[in-house]
Structure 1
Amino acid sequence: MTAAPTNPFAEHVGKHPGEPNVMEPALLADPFSGYGALREEGPVVRGRFLDDSPVWFVTRFDDVRDVLRDQRFVNNGAAARGDSAEDPLSRLMETLGLPVHLADYLRGSILNNDAPDHTRLRRLVSRAFTARKITDLRPRVQQIADELLARLPDHAENGVVDLIEHFAYPLPITVICELVGIPEADRPQWRAWSADLVSPQPDRLGKTFPALVEHIHELIRVRREALTDDLLSELIRTHDDDGSKLSDVEMVTMVLTLVVAGHETTANLIANGTAALLTHPDQRRLLQGDPALLPRAVHELMRWCGPVHLTQLRFAAEDVELGGTLIRKGDAVQLVLVAANFDPRHYNEPERLDLTRHPVGHAENHVGFGHGMHYCLGATLARQEGEVAFGALLTRFPDLALGVAADSLERVPLPGSWRLAALPVRL
Structure 2
Amino acid sequence: MTSHGNSVAPAPAPEVGTPGFKAHAHERYAELRALGPIHRVRMPDGTAGWLVVGYELARTALAHPLLSKDPAPFEEELRASGRHILLAGSGFGGNMLMADPPQHTRLRRLVSGAFTPGAVEALAPRVEELAHQYLDAFAPLGEADLVTAYTGPLPMAVICELLGVPAERRDDLQTWTRAAMTNPSERQRTSLLALNTYLRELLEEKRRHPQDDLLSRLIAVRDEDDGRLSDAELLGTAVILVAAGHETTVNLLGNAAVALLDHPDQARTLRLAPERLPGAVEEFLRYDAPVESSPTRFATERLTLGGAVIEPGDTVTVALTSAGRDAPVEAGTDPDRLDVLRHNARHVSFGHGIHYCIGAPLARLEAVIALRVLLGRLPDLEWARPEEGIAWLPAGITRGPVRLPVRFTPRPARTPAVDVP
Normalising by structure 2, we get a TM-score of 0.89
Q: Which residue of 2 aligns with 1:253?
A: 236
Is the contact made by 2:155 and 2:249 (CA closer than 8 Å) also made in structure 1?
yes
CA–CA separation in structure 1 for the residues paired with 2:93 and 2:154: 29
Question: Are 2:246 and 1:263 equivalent residues in the alignment?
Answer: yes
Is the contact made by 1:169 and 1:267 (CA closer than 8 Å) also made in structure 2?
yes
353, 357, 361: which is aligned to 2:342? 357
Question: Are 2:344 and 1:366 equivalent residues in the alignment?
Answer: no
Q: Which residue of 1 aligns with 2:89?
A: 103
Aligned pair in 2 of structure 1 residues 215, 289: CA closer, same or farther (>3 Å)?
same
Shift of 1:25: 4.5
SS at 1:413 equivalent = coil
Calculate the aligned-residue CA RMSD, in Å.
2.4
Is the contact made by 1:279 and 1:406 (CA closer than 8 Å) also made in structure 2?
no
Aligned pair in 2 of structure 1 residues 242, 167: CA closer, same or farther (>3 Å)?
same
SS at 2:304 equivalent = strand
Is the contact made by 1:341 and 1:366 (CA closer than 8 Å) also made in structure 2?
yes
Range 238-247 or range 391-400, more displaced: 238-247
96, 100, 106: which is aligned to 1:114? 100
Is the contact made by 1:315 and 1:332 (CA closer than 8 Å) also made in structure 2?
yes
51, 55, 65: which is aligned to 1:57? 51
369, 388, 391: which is aligned to 1:388? 369
CA–CA separation in structure 1 for the residues paired with 2:387 and 2:283: 20
Is the contact made by 1:90 and 1:103 (CA closer than 8 Å) also made in structure 2?
no
What code does the residue aligned with 2:102 have? Answer: P
After superposition, what is the alpha-carbon deviation per residue over 1:38-73, rounded to whole angstroms, capped at 9, x for unaligned? Answer: 111012211122332221111111110011122121
CA–CA separation in structure 1 for the residues paired with 2:62 and 2:143: 42
SS at 1:294 equivalent = helix
379, 382, 392: which is aligned to 1:398? 379
CA–CA separation in structure 2 for the residues paired with 1:72 and 1:121: 20
112, 115, 129: which is aligned to 1:129? 115
Q: Which residue of 2 aligns with 1:305?
A: 288
62, 67, 73: which is aligned to 2:61? 67
What code does the residue aligned with 1:73 have? Answer: L
What code does the residue aligned with 2:343 have? Answer: H
Aligned pair in 2 of structure 1 residues 287, 184: CA closer, same or farther (>3 Å)?
same
Question: Are 2:132 and 1:146 equivalent residues in the alignment?
Answer: yes
SS at 2:92 equivalent = helix
Is the contact made by 2:179 and 2:187 (CA closer than 8 Å) also made in structure 1?
yes
CA–CA separation in structure 2 for the residues paired with 1:57 and 1:184: 39
CA–CA separation in structure 2 for the residues paired with 1:38 and 1:248: 43
Q: How does 1:5-404 map to 2 (within 5 A)?
A: 18-77=12-71, 79=73, 86-88=76-78, 91-93=81-83, 103=89, 105-153=91-139, 156=141, 159-200=142-183, 202-343=185-326, 348-359=333-344, 365-404=346-385
Is the contact made by 1:26 and 1:34 (CA closer than 8 Å) also made in structure 2?
no
CA–CA separation in structure 2 for the residues paired with 1:283 and 1:394: 11
Shift of 1:116: 1.0
Aligned pair in 2 of structure 1 residues 23, 66: CA closer, same or farther (>3 Å)?
closer
Aligned pair in 2 of structure 1 residues 406, 120: CA closer, same or farther (>3 Å)?
farther
Is the contact made by 2:16 and 2:42 (CA closer than 8 Å) also made in structure 1?
yes
Aligned pair in 2 of structure 1 residues 199, 59: CA closer, same or farther (>3 Å)?
closer
CA–CA separation in structure 1 for the residues paired with 2:2 and 2:227: 44
* Structure 2 portions without partners, runs of 5+: 4-10, 409-421
Aligned pair in 2 of structure 1 residues 313, 199: CA closer, same or farther (>3 Å)?
closer
CA–CA separation in structure 2 for the residues paired with 1:284 and 1:372: 33
| Aligned-residue identity in percent | 38
* Structure 1 portions without partners, runs of 5+: 1-11
What code does the residue aligned with 1:88 have? Answer: L
Aligned pair in 2 of structure 1 residues 167, 382: CA closer, same or farther (>3 Å)?
same
Normalising by structure 1, we get a TM-score of 0.87
Shift of 1:198: 2.9
CA–CA separation in structure 2 for the residues paired with 1:308 and 1:223: 31
Is the contact made by 1:77 and 1:87 (CA closer than 8 Å) also made in structure 2?
no
Is the contact made by 1:300 and 1:357 (CA closer than 8 Å) also made in structure 2?
yes
Shift of 1:196: 2.2
